[in-house]
Structure 1
Amino acid sequence: MEIQSPSSTSPTPTLRESTTEIKSAVNPNNNEFSNGTGALQIDNTRESSDVDVRNDDHQRNVGSTIEAGIEQQKISNDGSGGAEIKLSQRKKWSLLAVFSLSLVIDQWCLAAFYIFTKFISEDLNVSVEQQSWVITSYTVTFASTLLFWGRVSDLYSASLVFDWGLLSLGFLSLIISFLPEKYSFFIIRALSGIAGATSVPSSFRLIVAIFEPKELNKAFSIYGISGALAAVSGNLLAGIIQLIPSHGQAIAWRWFFRLVAAIVVPVGIGAFFCIPNLQGHDHNVSNKKSRLDLIGSGTMLVAITLLILGLTLGASSGFNKPGFIVPFIISILLFPLLLIYETKLPEEKAILPKSIWKHENFVLWLFLALLGYSWSSTNFLAFIEIWMNEPNNEKPILAAVRVLPQACLGFLISLLLSLWSKPFKYPRLMVSIGCFLGSGSYILFIFSKDQIGLNYWKFLFPGFILGSAGMMICFNMTNAGAMSAVPPSIGGVAGALVQLCFQTGTAIAFAVQAGLLTIKEGGLQNFTNTRASFIFVTGWIALFAIIFVCLYKPQKKEDGDEENRVVMAH
């Protein structure tokens, strides 16, 4: 779950309106979704009905992105306007609270571990080079299975996908809380990422089904705000739990997983009785298994996992060792094989339809999405570890408060962009500004002699403000640009790919940073190592900016004139 992503850039969904009018048969396959953490675009689907979507180019954005144009819709199975499932107002908003809770839990399962990584590593003997897996073991599987769960929701039942996924996440969290060593922790946490991913596409399908068209703006705004608040509160919650004296099986991070289980399991059981059964749009098709594209989904998961595994093993044992070479080469071979395989499948059966790659700038936006969470993820983990270890030995709650400016600025920038849509007309300029601020902030970090006292206010605090603002601009531009590059019919696939790139880019950045932290003795406690990782991130951001500026092709206006702009697809 956003996957987020870190507090400052966690994917908090937004509702965005555009200037286009879309009339299409509604199809839940067209749901764009993320881990609580990214861009979600929805084509609301009902059998035998049309959807009229007219938007006024007002950009609604609460932290990150749920892209959808839903101002005027006519949705029903019987041809009349209205929600697909008729419920009382009390029950509708109560169910929205359940869906929002699932997003909160997804965000907590990411954000809290910027605090808990140190203590989990000490408790389970996780080396410095492997510490990134405490976080990425969840995010990699979460992102890699979004497309799959969206397809399952369409073919079977979004209600059952949500119910069983939530219940599975609760029981897996309870199991994790008792694990005695790191390998079982990584494996079960990866499985919990798969379970956490179920709630995102299914929640969106259910929200669209139970609310009237005129209520969707409010419903999605509330859903998005819950993700933003969870991303901010995840670090603080971890810091508060860490204040409780504990040891052994009662250590704080174990109680966090038990807390998640205590919340999720009862809610998951209740969901079976409270959430109405909603059949998928394609539940009547005869060849459901072939439409799941199990080969494509499995290959994608294996390829991404092997890529991150290779980079992590290379960081710990050397990039000339089989531990890096074998998984890395296999993953590099699997990616083109996956694309070739997907092009051979009919569009309705492929999890990655071949038509998606033909749209101008879309691949470039996916490339930029690799930058999405890297800025905040790498400095979050580094600074929190520095503050909580020798010689600073600060309490986790204080470390969480120190990085809070990043989350606050990210939220404010997204809110500003929701009220002022003009910057979306100039993607090349805005991405350049965002990357300049992001790389400039890391230069401030590099020259900080220490990270507390006066130097915190001279170097880190202004870096947090400038960098978070800049990278949130890039984050919102990436979501908007990618969604405007494709037609509504493939918006769901496009959104999932964007979220996949957000999470994969973070995992790659973590893996490279882990290798750089071993240049000198002392790991993160030796700031020479941390500075080297910051130099890498500075160059990483600059490279993305240069490539984007050089390769971006301005979109054409309807009258044929070109303009550097991003217009929301729906």
Structure 2
Amino acid sequence: MSSPDSSTRLSPTESVPTQVIPSPVPSLSDTVIGLNGAPEKHDKTSLPVEEPLNQQKVEAERPMKLSQRKKWSLLAVFSLGFFVDVWSYSAFFIFTGPISESLDILFEQQTWVITSYAVTFAAFLLLWGRVSDLWSAKPVFSYGFIVLGILDLIISFLPDKYSFFVLRAISGIAGATLIPASFRLIVAVFEPHELGKAFTLYGMSGALANTTGIIIAGFVEYIPNGGQGEAWRWFFRILAILIMPFAIGSLYFIPTPKGAIAQADDKWKRLDIVGTFSMLAGIVLLILGLTLGASYGWKKAGFLAPFLIAWVLIVFFFFWEARLSDECAILPSKTWRIPNFAVLITLGLFIYGWWSVNFLPFVEIFVRVHNERAIIAAVRMLPQGIAAGVVTVVLTLYPKLTSNPRWPISVGLIGGAIGLILFTQSEGDVVGSGYWRWVFTGGAIGSSGVMIAFTGTNVGVMTSVPPEMAGVAGAVLQVSLQVGSAVALSIQSGLLTINPGNLENFSNVKASWYFELGWTLLWLVGFLVFYRPGKRPVSSAEDGAEQGERPIMAH
């Protein structure tokens, strides 16, 4: 059986949502599972990639014989993990302000409420995918889930910002276990003909969690505040209460499959600890430097030291990966030689950031400036989620619209630019009639456009790589998306302090959106210049014949 990150070729009668996050699990399997349930072998000799010199043979995994009730119950547990991961990010667009007031977090440091989790989450996806391959996905999922629940409970009682930031970062490491382990476990549990439905439902749970995160946070804000009874503290406690029974139960309820390369003798070498931690340190220092530079000045040591060290570590990471064999490198160097792969991964740095830099200031303006309840602010932002959902449904029904990523991505970026232009023209009039004229319209157009660009990028990445590299490709895309969001929030936090008044002074917010608008147009021009249309790598004549009917999607 295929590993969960293998690409899935759609039959002419089936499709899956294109927003599903690709699996962040490196794979060495060369079997692809079609949604019709038939395992399909691919001849690697026709692939334009290099074969590892010491690659060990991987035996295909066989699904466990479980009842239908237990299979779908397990999927519910895996989906709960996905919900928690997404809520741990999206809900904090509502809670950033209250947490900052409670823990005396300076305005220019507020983005770390969100990015402290997102940065470590992104940096550890590849590592946990490799651990799931080398040992077993069950302990990765179960113990990661348990640790996340414990950390959420501890965080709810923290008295200061420093301990909050540190434990939020550690909880991001724990949260990163859930997605790659879930993909492995889904493939181990379900029969080939059930995988399409299972992965589709799993992906839909993530999309639903993203939309409901701020709504749930808005309702939690109704909990009476004060001391240890503050709403944001109760949100962490609710997460812990929700997590712990299922996390502990998963130790007994989830079967124990072997990893895809569990027979490898050099497991510790294949973990690539040096590469993982150099990438993590580089990402953290880069975002720290940008935050401090935007807030305190670009000539200060607070910016120069972490920023320059970050680039040394990033260069070292790529140098280190290039010297390792493909089966030992957490990010094989051959990945970057695939046509358009680097262009699309670079584009991924823009996508999540678009939503982040309008969600956070809008919510803060509604709550702080206009004194609205958090739930009202959440409802005001809901049209962006609905617009993105409608686009997803349309592209699911008509997948040929994204079969050539060049045009949907270009159209999507233009839509994102139009949304930002409308936001800037509001001049602070974001409630009453101004809300419908500028915020609602700009959000609907912009969010729809960026979702189109995201889908085109997703399809472009996954169709540019051969099947056995789909997991690595999906993981790298996720890292790009998450890091781009963190960087965008870090830069915005500095731009919001250009003039006195922070968020209360709309000229600061407007400046951050103008920066994002310029960034959007730069990505559009760069994409049109560097993207080179061409056929994806295929592994057989049959694949070549079917190319263009449906895009290959990796969950």
Q: Scaled by the length of structure 2, what TM-score is found? A: 0.90
Structure 1 regions of 5+ residues with no counterpart? Answer: 1-25, 32-40, 45-52
Q: 2:385 aligns with which of 407, 416, 419?
A: 407
Q: 1:73 aligns with which of 23, 38, 43?
A: 38
Q: 1:303 aligns with which of 275, 279, 282?
A: 282
Deviation at 1:60, TM superposition (A): 1.6
- Equivalent-residue separation in structure 2 for 1:438 and 1:123 (angstroms): 34
Aligned to 1:304, the other structure's residue is in SS state: helix
Q: 2:6 aligns with which of 42, 66, 69?
A: 42
Q: Does 1:446 align with 2:402?
A: no
Give the length in aligned residue pairs. Answer: 522
Name the counterpart of 1:269.
Answer: 248
Name the counterpart of 1:546.
Answer: 525
- Equivalent-residue separation in structure 1 for 2:203 and 2:486 (angstroms): 24
Task: Indicate conservation of the 8 Å contact 1:406/1:468, yes or no.
Answer: yes
Opposite residue 355 of structure 2, the aligned amino acid is: S
Q: 2:76 aligns with which of 97, 112, 117?
A: 97
Deviation at 1:66, TM superposition (A): 4.2
* 1:246-395 paired onto structure 2 within 5 Å: 246-390=225-369, 392-395=370-373
Task: Indicate conservation of the 8 Å contact 1:155/1:281, yes or no.
Answer: yes
Deviation at 1:82, TM superposition (A): 9.6
Structure 2 regions of 5+ residues with no counterpart? Answer: 24-31, 41-58
Q: Does 1:531 align with 2:531?
A: no
- Equivalent-residue separation in structure 2 for 1:152 and 1:81 (angstroms): 18
Name the counterpart of 1:520.
Answer: 499
Opposite residue 283 of structure 1, the aligned amino acid is: A
Q: 1:565 to 1:460 in 2, by over 3 A?
A: farther
Opposite residue 125 of structure 2, the aligned amino acid is: L
Name the counterpart of 2:399.
Answer: 421
Q: 1:404 to 1:569 in 2, by over 3 A?
A: closer
- Equivalent-residue separation in structure 2 for 1:81 and 1:459 (angstroms): 54
- Equivalent-residue separation in structure 2 for 1:106 and 1:186 (angstroms): 17
Name the counterpart of 2:17.
Answer: 61
Name the counterpart of 1:187.
Answer: 166
Q: Does 1:568 align with 2:533?
A: no
- Equivalent-residue separation in structure 2 for 1:59 and 1:143 (angstroms): 28
CA RMSD after TM alignment = 2.4
Name the counterpart of 1:198.
Answer: 177
Opposite residue 341 of structure 1, the aligned amino acid is: W
Aligned to 1:521, the other structure's residue is in SS state: coil
Deviation at 1:412, TM superposition (A): 1.1
Q: 1:453 to 1:159 in 2, by over 3 A?
A: same
Task: Indicate conservation of the 8 Å contact 2:346/2:480, yes or no.
Answer: yes
Q: 1:380 to 1:335 in 2, by over 3 A?
A: same
Choose 426-435 or 353-362, whichever is displaced more.
426-435
Choose 211-220 or 154-163, whichever is displaced more.
211-220
Deviation at 1:306, TM superposition (A): 0.5
Deviation at 1:556, TM superposition (A): 3.3
Deviation at 1:81, TM superposition (A): 11
Aligned to 2:409, the other structure's residue is in SS state: helix
Give aligned-pair identity as a percent. 47
Q: 1:531 to 1:313 in 2, by over 3 A?
A: same
Deviation at 1:213, TM superposition (A): 1.0
Aligned to 1:360, the other structure's residue is in SS state: coil
Deviation at 1:204, TM superposition (A): 0.6
Task: Indicate conservation of the 8 Å contact 1:146/1:197, yes or no.
Answer: yes
Q: 1:82 to 1:304 in 2, by over 3 A?
A: closer
Q: Deviations over 1:473-496 (max 9, x none)?
A: 000011110111111111111111
Name the counterpart of 1:49.
Answer: none
Task: Indicate conservation of the 8 Å contact 2:33/2:39, yes or no.
Answer: no
Q: 2:489 aligns with which of 510, 519, 534?
A: 510
Name the counterpart of 1:244.
Answer: 223
Name the counterpart of 1:111.
Answer: 90
- Equivalent-residue separation in structure 1 for 2:466 and 2:13 (angstroms): 17
- Equivalent-residue separation in structure 1 for 2:148 and 2:111 (angstroms): 21
Name the counterpart of 1:6.
Answer: none
Q: Scaled by the length of structure 1, what TM-score is found? A: 0.88
Deviation at 1:568, TM superposition (A): 2.2
Q: 2:192 aligns with which of 199, 205, 213?
A: 213
Q: Deviations over 1:57-86 (max 9, x none)?
A: 9542164444886323349xxxx9995211
Deviation at 1:217, TM superposition (A): 1.4
Name the counterpart of 2:129.
Answer: 150
Name the counterpart of 2:212.
Answer: 233
Opposite residue 12 of structure 2, the aligned amino acid is: D
Q: 1:359 to 1:57 in 2, by over 3 A?
A: farther
Return the structure number with greater relative CO, CA threshold 8 A, min gap 6.
2
Deviation at 1:222, TM superposition (A): 1.5
- Equivalent-residue separation in structure 2 for 1:458 and 1:109 (angstroms): 31
Q: 1:153 to 1:239 in 2, by over 3 A?
A: same
